[in-house]
Amino acid sequence: MNLATWVERHGRRTPDGPALADGDRVHATWSTFAVRTAAVAAALRRRFGLVPGERVAIVMRNRPEYLEALFATWHAGLVAVPVNARLHRDEIAYILDHSGTRVVITDDDHAEDVGSLVGSVEALGAAVVAPGSDWDGLTTGDPAALLDRRADDPAWLFYTSGTTGRPKGATLTHRNLLMMSLSYLADIDAISAQDSILHAAPLSHGSGLYGLPHIARGAVSVIPHSGGVDGAEIAGLLARWPGMSFFAAPTMVKRLAGDPAVTGSDLTHLTTIIYGGAPMYLADLEDALGVFGPRLAQIYGQGETPMTITALSKADHADRDHPQWRERLQSVGVARTDVEVRVVDEDDRDLPPGEVGEVVVRGEVVMPGYWNQPDASAEALRGGWLHTGDMGSFDQAGYLTLRDRSKDLIISGGMNIYPREVEEALLRHPAVREVSVVGRADPEWGEAVFAFVVASDATAPPPVVELDRICLDHIARYKRPKDYRFVDSLPTNNYGKVLKRELRERLSREASPGAE
């Protein structure tokens, strides 16, 4: 099955229904969306000479043309390579070269950088700017017939964020993305053609994936003018588009929960806020529930198994009377309908509830491998299970709690320390707004716990003695940070994840000031 079938189908069934919206304005009906994608597909095949299986990259900020380009690529039987639009030119060049991209669809903001790569990146032959006259010429030509695709044909090369080295391209097939979408409908929300999804987060990653089940069901995809999370803008769009859902990183949820423009608005049209991709601390989650009510759901997944490992449902969030309610809020929920999830030791043996090990998963949603990286694929998929690199434990009821990425684990004096539990303790202090805990090399203990703290009031940071006390009140003494540093902000990537690698490298440079 070709995923572009969805657009073609809605173009026939509900031709006048809104498909793509630019803010509060309808950009394209389903009929228009279908015609434009079929025309661009024809141009990709005829004008640029692309054949099925070749790659088309999309390097642009969120806009309606992004989704037109994505579905046109699939309509033509090609493979989409959505690229984080905030990457450096050299990082973009690496992804285009590694994927063997033939054509890039970009926008004015990135046209100079992307255009300069044509000819220097080996396979790259052309860059098309959208919107504009070039794009208009593609969308108004004769349409191409939908090209049939096998379920195991690649559809999307999902490049990881690259925080620990060169990014890898998870090869997501039409089957993977179909199963992901069906699983969303089974476990998260039933979507109708009267609903909407707001793309405030990047379409190149999470928001683009979350949009697929909405397109499958004929809901309208809404692109905010700001291209990001703006409380006043979101409040206005909620008044315009009913049945709205959107994906947001935990930092975005926290920001919206404290935004007067949101807290003072009518939330009747808000259906679901999906959060994930980074830890949501308990205090922040309880604040968000106080603002949004039972509209929050958490999804735990990775690019290698797109948005599908476990989920903490809206019902779980709302079940305040359950004796383990707060404990469950700190989990990532239970295994999704279409996957098997285990927690294993170093020899891939199952661990009992309560014991921490690596989370592994298998199912039809899991990628077949990384693009042109057989060794990395074999390592990640050894034994037929995706090894996530995340450390976690199940409780007796099957709720999975993540401890940390395995690379973030701190081993001090032979004791395992999971940074998140230290961060949770420190965030109980009212003067702490954000915190990130990492390990620092220590000649005596191997590693020492080090906390970077963002104070609620930068002019009056909390006394260290108080931070020590709140840790000692809630976690074991050996887990308490040996040192603290107050900073104005924490480094994050485009999706709100704190870049702990940068913090560790900062400490390493300070320990060896002459090192490059």
For residue range 51-96, list pLDDT tens digits in order: 999 999 999 999 999 999 999 999 999 999 999 888 888 889 999 9
CA distance 211 to 197: 7
Rounded CA-CA distance 184/99 in Å is: 28
**Sequence-separated (6 or more) residues with CB below 8 Å from residue 423:** 279, 281, 435, 436, 437, 451
**Average pLDDT of the residues in 373-393:** 95
Q: At residue 365, what is the residue type?
A: V
Share in percent of the chain as helix, strand, coil (round to 5): 35, 25, 40
Q: Mean pLDDT score of the chain, rounded to an integer?
A: 92
Q: What is the pLDDT of residue 17?
A: 98
Least confident of 4-8, 12-16, 198-202, 281-285: 281-285
Place of tokens 């769009």: 237
326 sits in which H/E element: helix 325-329
Within 10 A of 443 (CB to CB), how many other CB atoms are there? 6
145 vs 139: CA distance, rounded Å: 14
CATH level 3 topology of 409-511: GMP Synthetase; Chain A, domain 3 (3.30.300)
DSSP three-state, residue 28: strand
Identity of residue 119: G
In this structure, the strands spanning 357-363 and 386-394 are antiparallel
- The predicted structure's pLDDT at residue 477: 83
Per-residue pLDDT band for 404 (boundaries 50, 70, 90) equals low
Rg, Å, the chain Cα set = 23
Taking the C-alpha atoms of residue 120 and residue 89, their distance in angstroms, rounded to an integer, is: 12
Residue 162: band (very low, low, confident or very high) from pLDDT cuts 50, 70, 90: very low
Angle between helices 231-240 and 250-257 in degrees, nearest 10: 80
Question: Tell me: the pLDDT tens digits for 424-452?
Answer: 889 999 999 999 999 998 877 778 999 99
The pLDDT value recorded for residue 269 is 97
Tokens 């970009």 belong to 106
Percent pLDDT > 70 in the chain is 97
Closest by CA position to 99, among listed 115, 126, 120, 80: 80
pLDDT tens digits along 107-135: 999 999 999 999 899 999 999 999 999 99
Tell me whether residue 240 is exposed, middle or buried, using C-beta atoms within 10 angstroms of its C-beta: 0 to 12, 13 to 18, 19 or more: middle
- Distance from CA of residue 211 to its chain's centroid? 12
The better pLDDT of the pair 516, 386 is held by: 386
pTM (two decimals) = 0.83
Give the pLDDT confidence score for residue 161 in this predicted structure: 59
Whether the pLDDT of residue 322 is over 50: the answer is yes
pLDDT-wise least confident of 20-34, 161-175, 465-479: 161-175
Q: What are phi and psi of 359, to 5 degrees?
A: -85, 125
Least trusted range by pLDDT, from 18-27, 372-381, 505-514: 505-514
Cis omega (within 30 of 0) for bond into 131: yes
What pLDDT does 403 receive?
82
131-154, pLDDT tens digit by residue? 999 999 999 999 999 999 999 999
Q: What's the rounded mean pLDDT across residues 481-508?
A: 87
Query: What amino acid is encoded at 189 in this protein?
Result: D
The pLDDT tens digits of the residues spanning 253-283 come to 988 999 999 999 999 999 999 998 777 888 8
When pLDDT is cut at 50, 70 and 90, the band that residue 513 belongs to is low
Percent of the chain at pLDDT above 90? 79
Bridge-based pairing state of the strands 25-29 and 169-173: unpaired
Please, are residues 217 and 195 in contact by the beta-carbon 8 Å criterion?
yes
> Is the pLDDT reported for residue 406 higher than 90?
no
Tokens describing residue 469: 């006390």
- Residue spans per domain, the chain: 1-149, 409-511
Which pLDDT tens digit goes with each residue over 224-245?
A: 998 778 899 999 999 999 999 9
Q: Which of 81, 91, 215 is nearest to 156 (CA)?
A: 81
Output the CA–CA distances (angstroms, integers) from residue 45 to 37, 103, 115, 125, in the order listed.
Answer: 12, 11, 20, 13
Q: Quick one: pLDDT at residue 79?
A: 98
Q: Are 222 and 470 in contact (CB under 8 A)?
A: no
The Cα–Cα gap between 195 and 241 comes to: 8
CATH class of this structure's domain 1-149? alpha beta
Nearest to 190 by CA among 292, 84, 271, 85: 271
Q: How far apart are CA 192 and CA 219, in angstroms?
A: 6
